[in-house]
Amino acid sequence: METQLTFRFRQPDEAAASELIAVLLRPEDLKTTPGGEPPQWVHPQIDEALLRYAEQGLFGARPLETQVIPTLGLISAAHVVFVGVQAAPSAADALRGAASVVARTASRLKAQSVEARMIRDIVIGAAGCEPGQAAQVLTEGFLLGQHRRQAERREPKPTHVVRHVEWTAEAGLNEQESQQLQADWVAGIDRGQVFAEATCYARELVNQPGNRLTPEQLAEEAERMAANLDIDFEVIDEWAAAEQGMGGLLGVGQGSINPPRMIVLHYQGAPDDDEVWGLIGKGITFDTGGISLKRAPGMEEMISDMGGAAAVLGAMRIIGKLRPRVNVVMVVPTAENMPSDRALKPGDVISTMSGRTIEIVNTDAEGRVVLADAMTVAVNRGVTKLIDVATLTGAVSVALGDVMTGAVTNDETLLQSVVQAGHRAGERIWPLPSDPQYRQLIDSDAADLKNSGGRYAGTITGGLFVGVFAEEKPWVHLDIAGTAWLTKERGWEGKGGTGVMVRTLAELLTS
């Protein structure tokens, strides 16, 4: 059963029927003037208790700070949670984070229904977010905050899901204003639900064990999604790939018993428009490193090496539901990178679909090799600008940790559009330089280029390798190796797959 989210205006003295009341507050909301009326949030005794906590320095409504107070029968709700929220400079992130805190508090208290009360500024857009945007980010934060990875157990542990969430605000506007705000909030909630569900879908794909999600199974999942959303689907198997000269995809996949696939989705929302977006997502369903074998500790997390594929599939899910007036070709090269007697070896030279040759100097730099053919597939299908998303390099984690996604581009205007979309989605992107000197690091003596430039500037050279196959079309590379997987939950991002870049791509293409 899905969580139902609604919005309404309530009367100041209206009793709550929910099991948990959440109140979003700023630090200034706790201040009382001498001789002035005390704040009225929930109930006089509960409000007074919170003010005592504030006077003692135990609660200051700082961002994401919480204070849970049992109601002891004073009202029908069993608990009230007060959550600190800060507006500027990043109001959307603050609201998204506050909503995730409410979700996790509700889960801990086993509440089935939640009423979240908001100050007037949040509702009318005076707190830094337009009403529709506030509704969207609060909805996203709540749904993403309560999402958890589902474990396979003989005796499954019960998971708590809040069944009903109601965002409420005290009535205090004229009828026309109330009707417009109501419409804005309903539309924002609907949009936020679509975005959050697609992100959770991507998370669940990333969290699938490698033996549950082979390249063929990922292609089947993409076909099911495309059929449900009325999006054109195409898959290129290993025989068709060989006929088309996809040496990059086949080379990486040849070490595994599970053959590779090239997945292509076509969405045409603006038939009269010549602009066609290309979304390319790396889909290595498991990465051992191949002959250049990775270390054993942490290798189990390499189920996340298809995080780029999950991101573009999640974005296409949003596009298929919202039906924006854009044209999109999505391409996912998917393979397993395994060591065997058939696997690529360091020193091998392969030919790609574009005709360029690659010297393989490190078989663990396989993502860029399959992306080379995927970029050519997209270009051959008429895309005019490209964005690739990939868990490409460990170097990006060294540079940016798990906080920001690294970006490389040949078009600053396109990059800034992506960065701004990431800002709206709460997914931070940091541009890296792409000077010609970096490109020289992947020149090869044995082929057109080699698949690794060595230790220095690894994220940049990995991105520039992919960019070679953009054929000088506007292109942005997003390296999510640090942000696609978390070892512990953070804000609205859960432990495991994060679904990063789903909402950024969707914001870019649907706004």
Which of the residues are catalytic?
294, 368
Residues sharing a CB contact under 8 Å with residue 52, sequence separation 6 or more, in sequence order: none
Cβ(335)–Cβ(285) below 8 Å: yes
Of 448, 453, 445, which Cα lies nearest the Cα of 469? 448
Name the one residue in this structure whose structure tokens are 């006929």.
Answer: 243
CA dihedral 355, 360, 362, 364 (to 10 degrees): 40
282 annotated binding-site participant: yes
Cβ(110)–Cβ(20) below 8 Å: no
Q: How far is CA 309 from CA 25, 176, 467, in A?
A: 39, 45, 18
Copy the structure tokens of residue 481.
Answer: 């190796």
Query: Can you name the residues that pair with 80 across neighbouring β-strands?
Result: 21, 69
What's 282-343 look like in SS3? CEEEEECCCCCCCCCCCHHHHHHHHHHHHHHHHHHHHHHHHCCCCEEEEEEEEEEECCCCCC
User: What three-state secondary structure class fits 57?
Assistant: coil
- Write out the H or E segment, with its range, that includes residue 66: strand 66-70
93 annotated binding-site participant: no
Copy the structure tokens of residue 307.
Answer: 């995080």
Of 358, 429, 366, which Cα lies nearest the Cα of 400? 429
Q: ∠ CA 246-252-255 to the nearest 5 degrees?
A: 125
Cβ(197)–Cβ(189) below 8 Å: no
- Write out the H or E segment, with its range, that includes residue 233: strand 232-236
Cβ(442)–Cβ(454) below 8 Å: no
- β-strands 20-25, 113-117: how paired? parallel
Sequence length of the chain is 511
364 annotated binding-site participant: yes
- β-strands 164-170, 4-10: how paired? parallel
Cβ(432)–Cβ(404) below 8 Å: no
184 annotated binding-site participant: no
Q: How far is CA 376 from CA 106, 159, 246, 263, 370, in A?
A: 48, 44, 9, 13, 10
Copy the structure tokens of residue 213.
Answer: 């999600």
Copy the structure tokens of residue 43.
Answer: 């109930």
Instruction: Report the C-alpha gap between 371 and 283 in whole angstroms.
Output: 9
Q: Give the ranges where 323-435 is alpha helix by DSSP (H).
A: 367-380, 395-400, 412-425
Instruction: Report the C-alpha gap between 64 and 86 in whole angstroms.
Output: 9
402 annotated binding-site participant: no
Binding residues for Mn(2+): 282, 287, 305, 364, 366
